[in-house]
């Protein structure tokens, strides 16, 4: 009985395969390091959306679930299956440099998205600059507060590069102004943790002028804590990432005073991939521009950061 | 003093007193002496506390439930989906979510009680499966009040009333509704374990399942019941989590099972089963809750925090063992 079911299944599989619509001209392998983060889900969605506008492209997605070795295996699989181009957003530089370099040396163009690898064996790197965004946020906040104020900083994770860059960039940005960080804590990018840390800050300090969180869920968690304490009207909340359904929504609702965009680069990756596949030359480094969204600028699509 | 150290409750009380004493010493400019600090701590531990109540029921029966965190995430997603996106009323949303939790729990329970799969393995499978299901239902995105409108752009819809009810505070702002939910859950678990026949039978199964079987206790039925109750509690925790975050996050509850286990064990309930109870878990909840709060008000860095938490957990458990 089992054998029969298996053979029927096999039969269906074998004979349904050739009935796919005409084979697209190019196959792209997209290796994502972790789909547990909304920002990375958005990156994949951006790639999918951009690729859908080009019927000649077919994109295969793989999710490494935050595991270097699994991601490295995914890249090997892409090489063996003969994809025309690989887009990879690596988990970590060192363990993924070799598989990416192998692919590149076999003549498969590689676009590295968001996080870097070691060495030069890739076609193009696309990413935004967290430190620059942090600095811009610092300057913007100093201006908003009129040069002085008490700030709570809810940090992503100080053992991660984005956390460090958003922290040190911000400190550079507020340097020289009268703005002072009175409380800082790691919230591990998670909203419930941000709420917990903010509750502590609220019971410890009677005056807080602004909360700078390293991501929008963090800023939202801080807002919820302040709202529960009846103090949300007395302070402003600033976040980073500005995903359409998250940060930008919070700005629209008036919860956040501003959200700084950390672009996913999904669309740019697909456009660059098309150029490479059509034999055009592309820049080796593409630094994505970032925008700030405020209540005034959100309907106009935000404001480009200098 | 000797008398006090002689039973697990006495030892847990002493651990709690020590942790509170640390809070008195490192009071962060007097923050520790303010009521709102304690109120916020009780809010913070509520979701963990409900999971710890669930965990106690299965641990007493000699099992373990690794799926509590994932079931919390799944329930948070389902509850948000029903009440925010599908516009169901409060009662049907709550009931449907609780049903899903109980069904998932009874599947684990069935595998353990009927098919003799080890609790660790069965609930590990459920932990992975439920997380996957939560991500599948939500397409990996948080289910919030931002929904895609007719024109493809995101629009904001108001939060359903039930979210505000669960997320607010009552009695002159002195206690969070989620804390009351935790108290209800702990009370229900206590009544079940100590006052009902099936509850007493779980102790018998946890103590010696062969002996329990020979004295006429049905192991499959009781095991399914224990894990179904655990799933039910997880669903309640998921609803409380969603109401506080105003969204259903498919990643919610990751690693919460570890905190729940820590709370149960620090209280003095043995993972071998057959002993312990909710009164000990309550002490465990307070110990972990105060520890977290004290580290938080003093703005201790994440690295130090992890190390200190590890040291204190092992110290508290060793203390429990030494007295036994």
Contacts of B292 in chain A (CB under 8 A): 196
In order of their start, the domains of chain A are 20-127+264-288 (3.40.50.2300), 130-262 (3.40.50.2300)
**Which letter does DSSP use for residue B34 in this model?**
S
Closest-CA residue in chain A for B169? Answer: A228
Q: How far is A286 from chain B (nearest CA, A)?
A: 28
Task: Count interface pairs A-B at CB distance under 8 A.
Answer: 81
Across A139-153, B117-131, B164-178, least confident range: B164-178
Q: What is the mean pLDDT of chain B?
A: 92
Q: What pLDDT, on the 0 to 100 scale, is given for residue B45?
A: 95
Q: What is the pLDDT of residues B219-233, one digit of tens each?
A: 999 999 999 999 999
Q: What pLDDT, on the 0 to 100 scale, is given for residue B317?
A: 85
Q: What pLDDT, on the 0 to 100 scale, is given for residue A65?
A: 87
| Distance in angstroms (rounded) separating the CA atoms of residues A129 and B18 | 46
Residue B313: give the domain boundaries: 2-323
The residues of chain A scoring below 70 in pLDDT are 1-24
Q: What pLDDT, on the 0 to 100 scale, is given for residue A18?
A: 47
Indicate yes or no: CB of A203 within 8 angstroms of CB of B301: no
In chain A, at which residue ranges do the beta strands (DSSP E only) sit? 26-32, 57-63, 85-89, 110-113, 124-127, 148-155, 178-186, 210-213, 236-241, 258-261, 285-287, 291-294, 303-304
Q: How far is B97 from chain A (nearest CA, A)?
A: 21
Indicate yes or no: CB of B154 within 8 angstroms of CB of A197: no
Q: How many domains does chain B have?
A: 1
**Of A200, A212, A225, A229, nearest to B246 (Cα)?**
A225
Structure tokens at B270: 């043995």
pTM of the full structure: 0.84
- Nearest CB among B146, B169, B244 relative to A245 is that of B146
SS3 state of residue B294 = helix
Q: How far is A105 from chain B (nearest CA, A)?
A: 34
Q: What pLDDT, on the 0 to 100 scale, is given for residue A19?
A: 46
Contacts of B303 in chain A (CB under 8 A): 159
Q: What is the pLDDT of residues A218-255, one digit of tens each?
A: 999 999 999 999 999 999 999 999 998 899 999 999 99
- Tell me the ipTM for this assembly: 0.82
- Label residue B169 by pLDDT band (50, 70, 90): confident
Q: How far is B138 from chain A (nearest CA, A)?
A: 11
Three-state helix/strand/coil letters over B161-220: HHHHHHHCEECCCCEEHHHHHHHHHHHHHHHHHHHCHHHHHHHHHHHCHHHHHHCCCCHH
Contacts of B142 in chain A (CB under 8 A): 38, 245-246
Q: What percent of chain B has pLDDT over 70?
A: 99
Higher pLDDT, B185 or B147: B185
Contacts of B144 in chain A (CB under 8 A): 245-246, 249
Task: Identify the CATH number of the domain in which residue B145 sits.
Answer: 1.10.3470
Mean pLDDT over B121-140 rounds to: 95
- Label residue B156 by pLDDT band (50, 70, 90): confident
Across A19-23, A249-253, B119-123, B150-154, least confident range: A19-23
| Distance in angstroms (rounded) separating the CA atoms of residues A239 and A140 | 12
- Nearest CB among B28, B140, B299 relative to A41 is that of B140
Higher pLDDT, B133 or B36: B133
Q: How far is A200 from chain B (nearest CA, A)?
A: 5
């Amino acid at each position: 009985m089992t054998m029969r079911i298996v053979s029927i299944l096999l039969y269906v599989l074998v004979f349904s395969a050739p009935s796919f619509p005409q084979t697209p001209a190019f196959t792209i392998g997209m290796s994502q390091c972790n789909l547990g983060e909304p920002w990375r889900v958005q990156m994949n969605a951006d790639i999918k959306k951009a690729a859908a506008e080009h019927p000649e492209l077919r994109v295969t997605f793989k999710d490494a679930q935050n595991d270097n070795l699994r991601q490295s295996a995914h890249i090997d699989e892409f090489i063996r299956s003969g994809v025309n181009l690989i887009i990879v957003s690596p988990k970590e530089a060192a363990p993924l440099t070799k598989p990416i370099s192998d692919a590149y040396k076999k003549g498969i163009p590689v676009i590295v998205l968001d996080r870097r690898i070691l060495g030069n064996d890739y076609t193009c790197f696309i990413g935004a600059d967290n430190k620059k965004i942090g600095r811009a946020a610092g300057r913007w906040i100093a201006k908003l507060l009129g040069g002085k104020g008490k700030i709570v900083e809810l940090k992503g994770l100080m053992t991660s590069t984005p956390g460090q860059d958003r922290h040190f960039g911000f400190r550079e940005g507020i340097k020289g102004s009268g703005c002072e960080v009175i409380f800082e804590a790691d919230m591990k990018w998670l909203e419930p943790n941000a709420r917990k840390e903010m509750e502590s800050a609220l019971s410890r300090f009677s005056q807080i002028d602004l909360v700078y969180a390293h991501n929008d869920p963090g800023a939202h968690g801080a807002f919820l804590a302040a709202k529960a304490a009846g103090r949300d009207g007395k302070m402003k909340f600033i976040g980073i990432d500005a995903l359409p359904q998250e940060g930008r929504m919070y700005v629209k609702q008036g919860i956040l005073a501003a959200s700084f965009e950390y672009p996913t680069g999904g669309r740019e990756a697909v456009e660059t991939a098309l150029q490479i596949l059509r034999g055009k030359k592309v820049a080796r480094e593409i630094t994505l521009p970032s925008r700030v969204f405020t209540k005034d600028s959100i309907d106009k699509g935000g404001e480009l950061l200098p | 003093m000797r008398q006090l150290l002689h039973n697990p409750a006495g030892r847990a009380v002493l651990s709690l007193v020590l942790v509170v004493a640390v809070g008195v010493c490192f009071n962060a400019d007097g923050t520790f002496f303010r009521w709102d600090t304690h109120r916020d701590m009780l809010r913070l531990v509520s979701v963990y506390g409900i999971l710890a109540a669930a965990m106690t029921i299965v641990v007493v029966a000699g099992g373990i439930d690794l799926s509590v965190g994932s079931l919390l995430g799944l329930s948070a997603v389902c509850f948000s989906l029903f009440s925010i996106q599908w516009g169901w009323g409060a009662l049907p949303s709550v009931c449907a979510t609780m049903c899903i939790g109980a069904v998932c729990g009874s599947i684990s329970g069935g595998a353990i009680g009927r098919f003799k799969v080890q609790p660790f393995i069965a609930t590990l499978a459920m932990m992975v499966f439920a997380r996957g299901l939560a991500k599948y239902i939500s397409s990996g995105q948080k289910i919030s009040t931002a929904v895609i409108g007719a024109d493809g752009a995101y629009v904001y819809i108001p939060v359903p009333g039930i979210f505000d009810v669960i997320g607010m505070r009552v009695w002159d702002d002195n206690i969070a509704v989620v804390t009351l939910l935790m108290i209800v859950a702990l009370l229900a678990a206590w009544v079940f374990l100590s006052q009902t026949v099936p509850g007493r039978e779980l102790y018998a199964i946890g103590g010696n399942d062969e002996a329990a079987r020979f004295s006429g206790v049905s192991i499959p039925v009781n095991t399914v019941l224990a894990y179904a109750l655990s799933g039910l509690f997880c669903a309640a925790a998921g609803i409380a989590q969603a109401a506080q975050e105003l969204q259903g996050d498919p990643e919610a509850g990751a690693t919460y099972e570890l905190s729940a286990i820590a709370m149960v064990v620090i209280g003095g309930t043995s993972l071998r089963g057959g002993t312990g109870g909710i009164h000990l878990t309550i002490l465990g909840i307070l110990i972990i809750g105060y520890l977290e709060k004290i580290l938080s008000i003093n703005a201790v860095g994440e690295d130090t925090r992890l190390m200190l938490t590890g040291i204190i957990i092992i110290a508290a458990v060793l203390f429990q063992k030494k007295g036994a």
